[in-house]
């Protein structure tokens, strides 16, 4: 008997020849829970993927692109889901309460978004945690998402340990220092890199990581995140 990873309801099993020979992927989430997630559809900002009425570059991205320290380091971001109350609760279980198995719920949608927008990317790079945060949490949620794609994953970025981003206001996030660094940049030289993270909120984390990658020889940096805050 299989149970939904979110609500623990019993999952209906349909027996077919494919399932008998293990050719069908095992379901991990019931339809009732899946229906509560909201996919991002329709027009989005062509840079950050913010849902809006048209595909023009949004005001936030214009400000980022004119920033003298950051500039247009991020080619594009796309996110899979809206950050509704349901997703907020699921992310809290996944990210802060250690339910790493929940990542499998997003396998199909996350991989489909990759194939739709970024299948030509040369390197898949998860946004790292600091060593202290990784010890506290036990896993890197961005790495688990990156592994859903089914491509080799590289981890050239390192991260200094500072206060959690989730505890900062929007203005504090926008003004925060760059916590990322690279010790051996040779693997990223002249490559198109796809950064993977769980949530795009202000774009600060993604752009700081992209800036370090560009400064160390990457040709192009895009990003794919599970949620658009």
DSSP strand E in the chain: where? 77-82, 123-126, 157-159, 180-182, 192-200, 220-228
Non-local CB neighbours of 43 within 8 Å, separated by 6+ positions? 51, 52, 53, 54, 55
Within 10 A of 80 (CB to CB), how many other CB atoms are there?
Answer: 23
- Indicate whether 17 pLDDT > 60: no
Per-residue model confidence as pLDDT tens digits over 34-53: 999 999 999 999 999 999 99
Residues in the chain: 229
pLDDT score for 20 = 42
pLDDT score for 66 = 95
pLDDT band at residue 27 under the 50/70/90 scheme: confident
- Indicate whether 186 pLDDT > 80: yes
When the pLDDT of each residue in the chain is averaged and rounded to a whole number, the result is: 91
| Lookup: tokens for 80 | 């899979």
């Amino acid at each position: 008997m299989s149970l939904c990873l979110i609500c623990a309801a019993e999952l209906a099993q349909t027996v077919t020849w494919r399932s008998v020979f293990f050719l069908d992927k095992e379901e991990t989430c019931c339809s009732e829970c899946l229906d509560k997630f909201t996919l991002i559809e329709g027009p989005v900002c062509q840079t950050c993927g913010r849902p809006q009425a048209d595909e023009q570059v949004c005001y936030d991205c214009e400000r980022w692109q004119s920033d003298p320290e950051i500039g247009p380091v991020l080619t594009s971001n796309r996110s899979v889901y809206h950050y509704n109350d349901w997703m907020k609760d699921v992310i809290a279980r996944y990210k802060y309460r250690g339910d790493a198995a929940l990542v499998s719920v997003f396998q199909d949608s996350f991989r489909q978004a990759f194939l739709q927008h970024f299948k030509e990317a040369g390197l898949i790079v998860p946004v790292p945690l600091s060593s202290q945060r990784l010890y506290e949490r036990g896993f890197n949620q961005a790495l688990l998402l990156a592994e859903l794609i089914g491509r080799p994953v590289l981890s050239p970025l390192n991260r200094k340990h500072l206060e959690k981003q989730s505890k900062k206001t929007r203005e504090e996030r926008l003004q925060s220092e760059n916590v990322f660094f690279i010790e051996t940049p040779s693997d990223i030289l002249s490559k198109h890199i796809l950064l993977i993270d769980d949530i795009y909120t202000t774009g600060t984390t993604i752009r700081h990581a992209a800036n370090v990658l560009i400064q160390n020889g990457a040709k192009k940096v895009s990003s794919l995140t599970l949620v658009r805050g």
